Structure 1
Amino acid sequence: MEGGSDQQSNPCAICLSGMGAGGGHAIFTAECSHTFHFQCISANVAHGNLACPLCNTQWRQLPFVQPAQPPASTLPQRRPMHRVQPPVQFQPPQPEVFDDDDETVEPPPPSEEPETTTPGGRGTLVVRTHTEYPAIARGASHESFAALVHVMAPGMITTEEGDDGAQRAPLDLVTVLDVSGSMAFEKLALLKQAMGFVVDNLGPGDRLSVVSFSSTARRVTRLLRMSDAGKGLAKSAVEALVARGGTNIADGLRVAAKVLGERRHRNAVASVILLSDGQDNHTMAATRPLAGAASAAPNYEALVPASFTTTDGEWAAPVHTFGFGSDHDAAAMHVVAEATGGTFSFIENEAVVQDAFAQCIGGLLTVVVQDARVAVECVDPGVRVVSVRSGRYESRVEDDGRAASVRVGELYADEERRFLLFLAVPPVVAEALDGETAATTLIRVSCSYRDAAGCEVTVTSDDAVVTRPEHVAAADLERSVEVARERVRVEATDDIAAARAAAERGAYEAAVEILERRQRAVAESEAALGQGGDGGAAAATSLQALGRELQEMRARVASEEEYARSGRAMMLSGFNMHSRQRANSRQVNWASNGAAWEERSYSTPAMRAMMLRSRVAREEASAEQQQTPPGAGEAAAGSSGP
């Protein structure tokens, strides 16, 4: 079809120049809704390329390719040229099998040694233990003596020749984007800008597939390797998105699962980003109870394909969900994230969606540890593990209490995990005394994992030991700041969940009281006051930030209106962040409000750097838009409408 449509603002997916570039270009709109310069696609068809270069759909309706013409004086009488018109509202059939993904970059060969045991050096994960107190009186016993297991991933390699960090694993990323009618105009423009930033920051070893959904879902691009050509194709596909129809989150996730499940090649890391600004009005509508039936909570698990859920404690690919604006279904986004091991982010300020994506990929692009598992072994014959506080990470205590384990999974560069153990410690029997230096070796902790090169690595900590004097001196009664901070954090996470439960049943005053009491306890804790030597300043900073967060939550659960508008999303996002010990958009929201986002919990240096890069890019884009002549942006805005 000829030029003159509002799609001229989109770039051609073949030559990557604007549809209106140079003037007078005819435009061909394929049955898969992608647009190209007529001369570009005609050349492709003439060479036998009969599939869309973006989504690989086999075309059934092809552009008419006119052969070279002789001089006008020798032309016979011609029939009118046949023009191919794409069907109105036609959705092209998707390939039956999504096995057309680009090849991956060949990874470096793994080490010949299948397993390495090391105390933790450069480029290696580090495991440390802390005991609540350095000493326990010989004759005393404890039924819940606290010990902390602290795991920290290595940092990234900082120079080409350097060996002071770890290599990262390449990423297969599927973005599942809501393009329902409510995403029209500014929302879709912000989403396109954010996706452009994501594409720009993926490396040549990474691959990206774009899935869009409204009333139904479709794969917009196959899994493309992010070479220069792949980035151009991905950007062109995103720019061509239009907003219309309803919201079918389940179908979007189904297509994403199909992309990952049927790929021929596999990068070491796979992940999904899901963004939606509304409520699923297809799958969830079908699962709601009939009128007059007993009320029941919505079955949000129906949104999640079975291939994304846990199998033997492992997730196929975490789905990181983003609730966009105040009208999204926070409960649905939270359940999808929880069921797949992902994070849930509440993007209250729609203008910072790019920053939220940036922080997420800042982590995904620095995965240095996979399938990490912490193993705890009791050393002293009388010591037992009573319980493990591991948040949303699966933990297990053996029946005899002599061992415990935690499944950690993936870790980003410089990312940390802290797990509280409560131990039963017996008194020292007389036969075990060794002069004045009696001690009890409590536990030995190891962590096994797979690094970016595919090598199996096991790291072991120093033994956790407490001295056993006859009488405990005052200096030995000083509590470890690391253990104290983790106690406060775990108790605050419990109270966030309790306050949310109260708000869900309409007890808003009770929810406020729970959060107020916990905020006061956090502020008055020794760790928040900076008392103690081991990490006192860092503990105080993180707990002061936690106190401010609890204060903000209090305001959001004060009434039914506040809770429905933003409180539910904020509580679920906060609970997800603390129970997984991984940064989400709570960090971004604070940054957009001018707060000291560097002090927020769980973010890594790479996450902060990527978010800073996003903020600079947004400021530069805003400055360019202010210099654009009036009316120049209207045509571009037209392509984003329903």
Structure 2
Amino acid sequence: MSFNDDEEPPPTKPGPARPGGITGLPTRQVQLSKYHNPNAPMAPNDQQVLLELKGISSAASRAPLDLVAVIDVSGSMEGDKLENAKKALCFIIRKLTDRDRLCIVQFDHEVTRLCPLRCATEAVRADLEALVCGLKARGATNIKAGLETSLRVVNERKLTAGRAANIMLMSDGQHNEGDWDPNTNFDPLNMPVHTFGFGRDHDSIMLGAIAKKSLGGVYNFVDDSDKLTNLSETFSQILAGLVTIIAQDLELTVTPVQGEATIKKVDAGTYQLNTSSDGSSSVTVKFGTLYSTEERSVIVELALSDRTAFDPYRADVAVVQYRFTAQGQQVTSNPERITIDRSWRKPDPDDAPPQLLNEVTRRQHADSIREAMEMADVEKLEDARSKLAEALKALDRIVDPMVDMLRKELLKLLELFTTKETYKKQGRPYAISSLASHGRQRSAARGDAEDVWQHADTIRAAMKMADGGKLHDARNKLAEALKALDRIVNPMADMLRKELLKLLELFKTKETYQKQGRPYAISSLASHDRQRFAARGDPEDVRLFATRRMDTYLEQAKQLDEKPEEKLPSADDDVQEEPEVSQDVPDSPTIGERRTLSVALRVLTAVLSLLAFSIMASARTSGPYRYDVGVNVIVCFYSVAQVLVEIRRLVSPMLRSTSYYWVTLFLDQVLAYLLMSASSAAASRNRLWVSRFGTDPFSSRINTAVWFSFVGFPALSANALISMVNLFSKI
């Protein structure tokens, strides 16, 4: 039976209206941030770089969803379990929009596709809920058949362009229809498969392996003993991500600069890594989908080359570029440089950004859980608990970036509030600039250019005391504020601590570990490795990587359980209730436009020069016009070469040294001058010819060729200006 009977979506309607305050500027879907030590010694050394991709576009620009829900209806689902599954499916149906499509597949010892991919219009939603209400439990459990059928539904679709296909697979038991190992006999074909282990008797190892092998899928542990709404709430969390997909086929490429660095290691969790075979030594990470406000982090370890024979300089050590598909179109970012100052200065451990240190600590935390689970699997529960206890102590190393900045600010103020003279010359200006920053909630230059966003009242009070000559009281005020920072709880550290405490509780006995501890640990590792929310028994417990929409849907799932007849807002309605996603101002907002304009101008210059010398050649010019012919030939070949270079830079990340930009600017200026000079000389000689012999076909051709050369001059001059901007942005 073929599954190419998916329904055609209705005509696209205008996107949902957004709240006021939205500008007409184009929105960037994804934003890259780089964190690393800004300085490195001249001797060979290793440096870690944290690269973060964040979805900064509103979910209003999301991809329409093609969702296949695969539900276990075997005999063990009889009773409350099946009723909870029905409620969870009804929540999904009510949240989808006309643009989304849903297919429901049920399996026991057999598999049945209850419906093709159907558009979730109001009328169809009623039909889908009727199908769900008719589900009945019976038979054994054939997870393989259910999964294979869902993959066929997705892969045999007629309509795929711009649509985000995902599979949600829920089971409460063990696969007991034939031998099957998803690690060796399962190919998800780059399809995200999100799995849900319902209850304490499911096969967490199998469901975890299915999700891990897919592209971006996560395994969720749903404990059915504490509360009946766990399944609906867990389904709501995954759905909240699926209806906010703003980027598909997301990938990040890191290329080391030859002679400056080599890549030692790329840590991207369980996402696929590909190393190039073109000699560039670049590494590409394939992430798959990205939700609105979601983040993906990669830690790259670079081995910097020996530069002890050189003077200190600013080194471009690597280049980063990312690509993704949005609304059916391929988007490629401009290459961004990773720049480090190489000098004789001794490295300062405090220079490492807290974002990098925190991410390293989180990954070490995940590795500790992995090692503890391996110990528990061989019944070394005491060793496993000791490992988790060590990880709990290590959480003290996590630093909140904001707290770190505030601490540095207060320490600097304490230093500058020492004497009356120091306070007047440095302390007061520093404090005033700090208050200006707090008042405007933005960064202001304060001598050390640190960004600080709070504690304005404390600084203001201390400054009043210092202005009144009470420096001792002012310093005490600042010291109190410094101690108060220790009471600020880091959200991530708090969640990781909850996670470890829960694992310590579930690793006490063999039975508890097998029924709850292992599923909890597998879902924890799935969340850490994918950097995506996964339920660990209770979706409200640890909210690591949860997005705003997930928080909203969690509350809506609770409301639906309390008032099942109440109408839920659709996914499009939810967009209107969300604030606009905050975006950092890009460093160079016109770099892409500049490169595109440069390519267009160089193509224009090449075409005009080609026409000019072709016309002159066809007129069989000699002697006086050879200068103009020669210059146009050189300009044409030079422009073609530059076009090829720019196109290659758009296709693959490339870095150029400063000398390259100097040479390009020099050649642009020289050739622009020569083109104007040659065109003027040819025009003068042609005018002399006409004055002596009158107008004829020969002079008309020369006149046309001269005009082409003249028009090519401003195009080449504009490129010279672009080359100048490129050079100064480089240095």
Normalising by structure 1, what TM-score?
0.69
Aligned to 2:157: 263
Cα shift readout 1:292-346 (whole Å, capped 9, x = no counterpart): xxxxxxx244674x4x24xxxxx0x211100001111111110111122311000
User: Matches of 1:425 and 1:374 in 2, distance apart?
Assistant: 21
Q: Who is 1:443 aligned against?
A: 318
Q: 1:174 to 1:539 in 2, by over 3 A?
A: farther
1:562 equivalent to 2:512? Answer yes
Provide the rounded CA distance (Å) in 2 between the counterparts of 1:229 and 1:277: 31
In structure 1, the residue matched to 2:81 is: 187
Q: Distance in 2 between matches of 1:511 and 1:271?
A: 35
Q: Which residue of 1 aligns with 2:634?
A: none
* 1:324 paired residue number: 198
One-letter amino acid of the structure 1 residue matched with residue 504 of structure 2: R
Structure 1 SS opposite 2:523 = helix
Structure with more relative contact order (C-alpha pairs < 8 Å, separation 6 or more): 1
* 1:212-227 equivalent positions in 2, closer than 5 A: 212-227=106-121
| Structure 2: stretches of 5+ with no match in the other structure | 15-24, 407-450, 454-484, 568-731
Compute the RMSD of aligned alpha carbons: 2.8
The question of whether the paired residues in 2 share the 8 Å contact of 1:171 and 1:207 is answered with yes
Q: Given the alignment of the two structures, is residue 601 of structure 1 paired with residue 475 of structure 2, yes or no?
A: no
- What CA distance in whole angstroms lies between the structure 2 residues aligned with 1:616 and 1:123? 34
- Pairwise CA distance, 1:403: 2.4
> Residue 284 of structure 2 corresponds to which residue in structure 1?
405
- Deviation by residue 1:19-38 (Cα, 9 ceiling, x = unmatched): xxxxxxxxxxxxxxxxxxxx
- Structure 1 residue matching 2:290: 3-state secondary structure: strand
**1:523–1:544: 8 Å Cα contact kept in structure 2?**
no
**Paired residue for 1:482?**
355
- Structure 1 spans left out of the alignment, 5+ residues: 1-95, 110-119, 158-165, 288-298, 310-314, 625-642
Is 1:340 the counterpart of 2:214? The answer is: yes
Tell me if structure 2 keeps the 8 A contact 1:384–1:423.
yes
SS in 2 for 1:522: helix
Check conservation: 2:29, 2:247, Cα contact below 8 A: no
Q: Alignment partner for residue 6 of structure 2, among 90, 101, 104?
A: 101
Q: Per-residue CA shift, 1:598-642, capped at 9, x if unaligned?
A: xx3211112222222212222334999xxxxxxxxxxxxxxxxxx
Is this contact kept in 2: 1:204–1:227, CA < 8 A?
A: yes
Aligned residue among 346, 368, 374 for 1:501: 374
- 1:260 & 1:402 partners in 2: Cα distance? 35
Paired residues of 2:195 and 2:218 also in contact (CA < 8 A): yes
Q: 1:427 to 1:258 in 2, by over 3 A?
A: closer
Which residue number corresponds to residue 279 of structure 1?
Answer: 174
The equivalences for 1:564-579 within 5 A come to 564-579=514-529
Contact 1:99 1:263 in 2 (8 A): yes
- The question of 1:612 aligning with 2:569 is answered no
Q: 1:137 to 1:98 in 2, by over 3 A?
A: closer
- 2:496 corresponds in structure 1 to 546
2:282 & 2:176 partners in 1: Cα distance? Answer: 47
User: What SS is found at the alignment partner of 2:97?
Assistant: coil
Is the CA contact (8 Å cut-off) linking 1:249 and 1:303 kept in structure 2?
no
Match of 2:295 in 1: 416
Aligned-pair CA distance for 1:382: 2.1
TM-superposed CA distance for 1:432, in Å, is 4.5
TM-superposed CA distance for 1:367, in Å, is 0.9
Alignment correspondent of 1:130? 35
Aligned match of 1:251: 145
Count residues with an aligned counterpart. 474
Give, in angstroms, the shift of residue 463 of structure 1. Answer: 2.3
Moved more, 525-534 or 440-449: 525-534
Q: Aligned residue for 2:57?
A: 155
Q: 1:385-419: CA deviations, max 9, x gaps?
A: 11101111112445877422211111111110010
Question: Hey, what does 2:391 align to over in structure 1?
Answer: 518
In structure 2, what is the Cα distance between the partners aligned to 1:535 and 1:611? Answer: 33
1:296 corresponding residue in structure 2: none
**SS of structure 2 residue aligned to 1:271:** strand
Give the greater-gyration-radius structure (CA).
2
Cα pair distance change 1:301/1:348, threshold 3 Å: same
Shift of the 348–105 alpha-carbon distance from structure 1 to 2, 3 Å rule, reads: same
The structure carrying a bigger helix percent of its residues is 2
Letter in 1 for 2:53: V
CA drift at 1:573: 0.4
SS at match of 1:136: strand
What letter is aligned with 1:141? P
For 1:535 and 1:205, locate their aligned partners in 2 and report how far apart those are by CA, in whole Å.
44
Which residue number corresponds to residue 207 of structure 1? 101
* Aligned AA (1:145): Q
Counterpart residue identity of residue 156, structure 1: S
Percent of residue pairs identical: 27
Distance 1:170 1:556, change over 3 A: same
User: How much has 1:188 moved relative to structure 2?
Assistant: 1.1
Letter aligned with residue 315 of structure 2: T
* Residue aligning to 2:66: 172
Q: TM-score, normalised by structure 2?
A: 0.61
Deviation at 1:479, TM superposition (A): 2.0
Contact 2:41–2:347 (8 Å) recurs in 1: no
Q: Distance in 2 between matches of 1:402 and 1:279?
A: 44
Distance 1:467 1:478, change over 3 A: same
AA partner of residue 82 (structure 2): L
3-state SS in 2 of match to 1:542: helix
Checking the alignment, whether the CA contact within 8 Å between 2:260 and 2:315 is kept in structure 1 is: no
Decide whether the 8 Å contact of 1:275 with 1:323 is kept in 2: yes
2:127 aligned with 1:233:
yes
Cα distance change, pair 622–505 in 1 and its aligned pair in 2 (3 A): farther
